[in-house]
Amino acid sequence: MKKGIELNLSGLPGLTHHYGGLSYGNILSMEHNQFRSNPKMAALQCLELMNTLRKLNIPQIVVPPQERPLFSILKNLGFKGDDSKILKTVFETDPKLLSQCSSSSFMWTANMATVTPSSDSKDNKVHITPANLQTTFHRSLEVEETCHFFKKLINNSPYFCLHDPLPKHKRFSDEGGANHIRFCLEFEQIGTHLFVYGKNSQKFPQRQSEDAFLAIERLHQLKPHISIFAIQNGRAIDAGVFHNDVISFGNQNLFIYHEDAFINTTEIVEKLSKTFYDNTKSSLNLIKVRDEELTLSDAVKTYFFNSQLITLKDQSMALIAPAECELHPKAYALTQRLLNDPNIPISSIYFINLSQSLWNGGGPACLRLRLVLKEEELESINQNFILSEELYHSLKKWIHTFYPDKFILKDLINEEFLENNKKALKELWKFF
């Protein structure tokens, strides 16, 4: 069997990265509404995360920033004139719309799509369904360009099947990989899939529907008896856990979850463990975090569960955690428990400063979509998007050249900023 390789599709914010408080139910986004942002710092933090992971042997596919402000939408909504006039009019009459059309939420690539490796599909192809992101207007604007990006990346490879996004309706609300975990022994071996959807929250909206994941299971032709469906705990959603990757995470045969992550958590975990054993004849390593160890509120505050778990060359694992976990006594104690337990394969922890992303509610796991490929599948995609030492330095120089170190929405009506923004995107695509 050919070796499987885990890659990350990792995002960069654009020059208009800002705090618009656009994501109802995302507490950090709501709390930082109207704060002054630093787009240069945001982009550099994301790039350094990518480079750290590259050095740890996790290949990085760079997902370039999308065009923002999105003039096509503003014109479609009846705003007329040249770009400067449109921006001034929208800023004066509907600043929230301008914020929505200028959001850098595409940086959180965990929501780009749901992916099935070829080892798990009946037709032995890699299946990708871009998420429709229909719950929030600003995120729904990403979908068209995301589909274009996947077409460029896949490059007509016969190993892939790229599906259309699901219909844009609440019944099929889909926010992608942030609500999906794949477990396995080796990456190329058959996986066990945990699909998590929302139900019964009282305060904040549930963003992932059961029907969406059932449709994706059919579209991706998942092999029988490898899927588990779980309902996200409404109490967790109302505490600010708007995606499953804010309350549980896993890698290969390790699953770390909060006791209040799901409805009937014990039953779900038992079912998941049995399915994993049936598929692998091996046990799933289950790590339950009790509420007294880290409350739902502290989980949202620190984004501990939004850490990345990666497999290192020696087959041990590294925890890529937000820097906030090092500063929070309970979250830090939890990281040390994981590190010091001989039965848990975590050998190292990296505390990463992602403050600019985190203030908008996006931690390490939000900034990547996991993709497992076999060698021939990897070789077939567009190699220009894979982060190399040369591309890393080129992107770093590009960010320093074009990105502002402070930004508020009013800056958009500055013609000099607008021209710099257009030039930056034009220069960026020369790298790819």
Q: Are 110 and 369 in contact (CB under 8 A)?
A: yes
Confidence of residue 253 (pLDDT cuts 50, 70, 90): very high
Asked if residue 23 has pLDDT above 70, the reply is no
Each residue of 75-105: pLDDT tens digit?
999 999 999 999 999 999 999 999 999 999 9
* Residue 376, in any domain of the structure: yes
Residue of 127, 243, 258, 328 with catalytic role: 243
pLDDT of residue 41: 97
Each residue of 319-350: pLDDT tens digit?
999 999 999 999 999 999 999 999 999 999 99
Question: Is 243 part of the annotated catalytic residue set?
Answer: yes
How many structural domains is the chain composed of?
A: 1
pLDDT of residue 200: 73
Confidence of residue 243 (pLDDT cuts 50, 70, 90): confident
pLDDT of residue 89: 96
Residue of 6, 142, 175, 377 with catalytic role: 175
Chain centroid, CA 356 distance in Å: 15
Higher pLDDT, 359 or 224: 224
* Residue 248, in any domain of the structure: yes
Mean pLDDT, residues 159-183 taken together: 97
Percentage of residues in the chain with pLDDT exceeding 90?
A: 88
Mean pLDDT, residues 148-170 taken together: 97
3-state secondary structure the chain: CCCEEEEEEEECCCCCCCCCCCCCCCHHHHHCCCCCECHHHHHHHHHHHHHHHHHCCCCEEEECCCCCCCHHHHHHCCCCCCHHHHHHHHHHHCHHHHHHCCCCHHHCHHHCEEEECHHHECCCCEEEEECCCCCCHHHHCCHHHHHHHHHHHHCCCCCEEECCCCCCCHHHCCCHHHHEEEECCCCCCCCEEEEEECCCCCCCCCCCCHHHHHHHHHHCCECCCCEEEEEECHHHHHCCCCCHHHCEEEECCEEEEECCCECCHHHHHHHHHHHHHHHHCCCCEEEEECCCCCCHHHHHHHCHHHCEEEECCCCCEEEEEECHHHHCHHHHHHHHHHHHCCCCCEEEEEEECCHHHHCCCCCCHHHEEEEEEEHHHHHHCCHHHECCHHHHHHHHHHHHHHCCCCECHHHHHCHHHHHHHHHHHHHHHHHC
Percentage of residues in the chain with pLDDT exceeding 70?
A: 97
Confidence of residue 359 (pLDDT cuts 50, 70, 90): confident
Give the domain extent around 160. Answer: 4-68+103-431
Mean pLDDT, residues 404-411 taken together: 94
* Residue 111, in any domain of the structure: yes
* Residue 83, in any domain of the structure: no
* Residue 73, in any domain of the structure: no
User: Of the ranges 128-132, 270-274, 354-358, 381-385, which one carries the lowest mean pLDDT score?
Assistant: 354-358
CA distance 218 to 214: 6
CATH number at residue 31: 3.75.10.20
Each residue of 191-220: pLDDT tens digit?
999 999 987 767 777 789 999 999 999 999
Confidence of residue 293 (pLDDT cuts 50, 70, 90): very high
Residue of 127, 259, 366, 377 with catalytic role: 366
* Residue 88, in any domain of the structure: no
Question: Is 366 part of the annotated catalytic residue set?
Answer: yes
Each residue of 257-289: pLDDT tens digit?
999 999 999 999 999 999 999 999 999 999 999
pLDDT of residue 244: 87
* Residue 96, in any domain of the structure: no
- Provide the 10 A C-beta neighbour count for residue 61: 24
pLDDT of residue 117: 98
Question: Is 184 part of the annotated catalytic residue set?
Answer: no
* Residue 178, in any domain of the structure: yes
Confidence of residue 28 (pLDDT cuts 50, 70, 90): low
In this prediction the pTM is 0.95
